Amino acid sequence: MALLAGWICFCYWLYADEIAPRLHGSREKSWPAYSEDIPFPLAFSWASDVPLAGLGYGDYKTQFDDLDSLDEIVIITGFYFRDEAVTIGELQDLGRRRINGMLDYHQISKDRMMTQVSVQEISADVRSNPFEAVRFERIPVADMLSITDDTLEICFPLKDSLVIPQVCTNRVIRWFNKASKNNESIVHVVGTADGSGIAEPADIALDRALIIKKIILNAGWKEEQIQLSTGQRNSPLALQNRCVVVYFE
Residue ranges of the chain assigned to CATH 3.30.1330.60: 33-141, 148-248
Whole-model pTM: value is: 0.77
Fold of 148-248: 60s Ribosomal Protein L30; Chain: A; (3.30.1330)
Question: What does the alpha-carbon distance between residue 13 and residue 7 come to, in Å, rounded to a whole number?
Answer: 10
For the segment 188-218, what is each residue's pLDDT rounded down to a tens digit? 999 999 888 777 888 999 999 999 999 889 8
Task: Report whether 212 contacts 228 (CB < 8 A).
Answer: no
Tell me the per-residue pLDDT of 97-112, one tens digit each, with 9 for 90 and over.
Answer: 999 999 988 888 888 8
What CATH number labels 33-141?
Answer: 3.30.1330.60
Q: Quick one: CA torsion of 75, 78, 82, 87, rounded to 10 degrees?
A: -100
Strands in 52-53's sheet, in edge-to-edge order, are 33-34, 52-53, 42-43
